[in-house]
């Protein structure tokens, strides 16, 4: 049929049927085998809220909660250890300066901006070169990182009961000194990651992916920290713009949402990249998964973990501190994300569009109201005067003259 260019009054009715991917594969297989196929049209209603979204919300909030308490506990232990060192050194040195906490990386403003730039480049590379072999590479990298994260979490958890095993070390070639507990836990973690990578296409493989992902996120939040609110504001503001651009604005440049295409794995033939948490939609007749990216947990988690570290060092209770309110703001922001997702009939939404204003806005407003904003913005921790530090001779003589 040929239509004229200026012909607008067309009465064309072409029925279209949408099938889940597994149903389409089964139908195609039966047709290729010359089987008799009978199709009954059925248009079920999707539930307004699926229980999978509730569990995903609990997983995201619980991950940040666990990571924040671990990070704050490590910071408090480091502060106690520092005070002990100052006490022991006070007889030899007039002043002692903190040299930082070992094993922890504090990001700065430049690193925060660079992170978003690198993430954008990586996202474009995923979009342009996504294929089976590229997904396989990501699976291998994720399995390595997940096994390392799972090992770190298990060793930290089990060391409370197996303290002697955790504190006894053995020298391993190429690795150096490794605790006996780490050697005992490592084979299980490696086997878990390998089994998931090999069997990741089975229906229950999402459980292994979520376990590895949560362990990896908690480990990163333990290692990487923001030193003050200024860095946190720059990081989350850049991530806010990043999420909006690659979900909404990228449609004008690439004719489709780059973020959504990559997350769903539309060009790879698989269920998407492994760097996300997912739960199958339990009561949705169309199936599929509810997903949340690592960045939607990790980036706000850096700010929330910072808030709890500050509260513990400042000896603030939950109500007078910042952690409780930042945690509630994150939970509310994520809840609004799912509400918007359902109102938009399942179209992908940038979670940070809702999470960042809630979380960062609450922190800034509370800090200004309580008069702590200057300290939070610059130093990132309360003033701690150690009673074991002695004044330098010059300072003592100046006080005597006064």
Structure token pair of residue 102: 């070992």
pLDDT over 80 at 102, yes or no: no
Number of CB atoms found within 10 A of residue 170's CB = 11
Per-residue pLDDT, 99: 40
pLDDT tens for residues 144-164?
999 999 999 999 888 888 888
Q: Is the predicted pLDDT of residue 90 greater than 60, yes or no?
A: no
- Per the model's pLDDT, the better-predicted residue between 289 and 346 turns out to be 289
Contact by Cβ (8 Å): 135, 197: no
Q: Report whether pLDDT(31) > 90.
A: no
Identify the pLDDT of residue 389: 46
> Distance between CA atoms of 250 and 128, rounded to whole angstroms?
13
pLDDT over threshold 50, residue 396: no
Confidence of residue 49 (pLDDT cuts 50, 70, 90): confident
Q: Between the ranges 129-133, 354-358, 368-372, where is the mean pLDDT highest?
A: 354-358
Mean pLDDT of the chain, nearest integer: 82
Q: Collapsing DSSP states into helix, strand and coil, what is residue 383? A: coil
Mapping DSSP to helix (H, G, I), strand (E, B) and coil, where does residue 374 land? Answer: helix
pLDDT digits (tens, 9 = 90+) for 109-138: 998 899 889 988 988 888 887 777 778 888
Q: Is residue 88 part of a domain?
A: no
Is 40 part of a structural domain of the chain? Answer: no
Q: Where is average pLDDT lowest: 9-18, 44-53, 60-69?
A: 9-18
Question: How many residues comprise the chain?
Answer: 402
The kind and range of the H/E element at 278 are strand 276-280
Annotated active-site positions, please? Answer: 243, 296
C-alpha–C-alpha distance, residues 256 and 100, integer Å: 46
pLDDT of residue 236: 94
Residue appearing with tokens 């990896």:
216
262 is a domain residue: yes
Tell me whether residue 281 is in a domain.
yes
In whole angstroms, how far apart are CA 104 and each of 100, 182, 219, 220, 376?
Answer: 8, 19, 11, 10, 19
Can you tell me the distance from the alpha carbon of 241 to that of 233, in angstroms, rounded to the nearest whole number? 12
In a domain, 283, yes or no: yes
pLDDT value at 1 more than 60: no
Identify the domain containing residue 271 by its residue range. 51-83+108-383
Cβ atoms 265, 273 nearer than 8 A? yes
Give domain status of residue 93, yes or no.
Answer: no
d(CA 370, CA 322): 10
Residue 353: how many other CB atoms lie within 10 Å: 18
Residue 23 pLDDT more than 70? Answer: yes
Instruction: Count structural domains, the chain.
Output: 1
Per DSSP, the residues of 292-358 read EETHHHHHHHHHHHHHHHHHHHTT--TTTSSHHHHHHHHHHHHHHHHHHHHHTTT----THHHHHHH
Dig out the tokens for 138 from the structure. 């990501």
Q: Is 325 inside any structural domain? A: yes
Domain for residue 43, yes or no?
Answer: no
Q: Distance between CA 30 and CA 230 in Å, rounded?
A: 60
* Residue 309: half-sphere exposure toward Cβ, Cα within 13 Å: 28
pLDDT of 402 reads 45
Q: How far apart are CA 363 and CA 328, in angstroms?
A: 11
Closest to 274 measured CA to CA, from 134, 120, 70: 134
């Amino acid at each position: 049929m040929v239509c004229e260019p200026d012909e607008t009054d067309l009465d064309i009715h072409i029925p279209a049927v949408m099938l889940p991917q597994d149903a389409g594969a089964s139908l195609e297989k039966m047709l290729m085998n010359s089987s008799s196929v009978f199709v009954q049209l059925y248009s079920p209603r999707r539930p307004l809220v699926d229980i999978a979204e509730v569990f995903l919300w609990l997983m995201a909030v619980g991950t940040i909660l666990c990571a924040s308490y671990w990070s704050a506990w490590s910071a408090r232990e480091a502060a106690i250890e520092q005070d002990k060192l100052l006490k022991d050194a006070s007889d030899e040195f007039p002043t002692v300066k903190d040299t930082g906490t070992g094993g922890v990386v504090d990001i700065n403003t430049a690193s925060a901006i660079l992170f978003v730039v690198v993430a954008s480049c990586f996202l474009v590379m995923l979009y342009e070169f996504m294929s089976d072999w590229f997904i396989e590479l990501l699976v291998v990298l994720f399995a390595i990182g997940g096994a390392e994260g799972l090992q770190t979490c298990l060793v930290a958890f089990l060391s409370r009961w197996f303290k002697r095993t955790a504190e006894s070390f053995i020298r391993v070639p190429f690795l150096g000194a490794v605790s006996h507990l780490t050697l005992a836990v490592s084979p299980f973690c490696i086997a878990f990651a390998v089994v998931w990578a090999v069997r990741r296409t089975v229906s229950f493989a999402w459980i292994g992916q979520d376990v590895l992902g949560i362990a990896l996120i908690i480990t990163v939040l333990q290692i990487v920290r923001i030193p003050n609110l200024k860095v946190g504001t720059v990081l989350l503001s850049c991530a806010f713009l990043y999420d909006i651009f690659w979900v909404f604005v990228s449609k004008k440049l690439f004719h489709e949402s780059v973020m959504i295409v990559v997350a769903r794995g539309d060009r790879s033939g698989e269920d998407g990249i492994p760097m996300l948490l997912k739960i199958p939609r339990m009561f949705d007749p169309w199936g599929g998964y509810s997903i949340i990216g690592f960045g939607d947990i990790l980036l706000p988690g850096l700010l929330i973990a910072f808030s709890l570290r500050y509260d513990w060092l400042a000896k603030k209770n939950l109500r007078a501190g910042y952690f409780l309110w930042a945690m509630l703001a994150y939970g509310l922001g994520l809840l609004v994300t799912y509400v918007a997702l359902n109102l938009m009939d399942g179209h992908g939404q940038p979670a940070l569009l809702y999470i960042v204003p809630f979380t960062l806005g609450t922190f800034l407003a509370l800090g200004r109201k309580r008069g702590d904003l200057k300290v939070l913005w610059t130093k990132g921790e309360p003033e701690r005067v150690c009673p074991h530090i002695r004044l330098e001779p010059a300072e003592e003589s100046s006080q005597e003259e006064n």
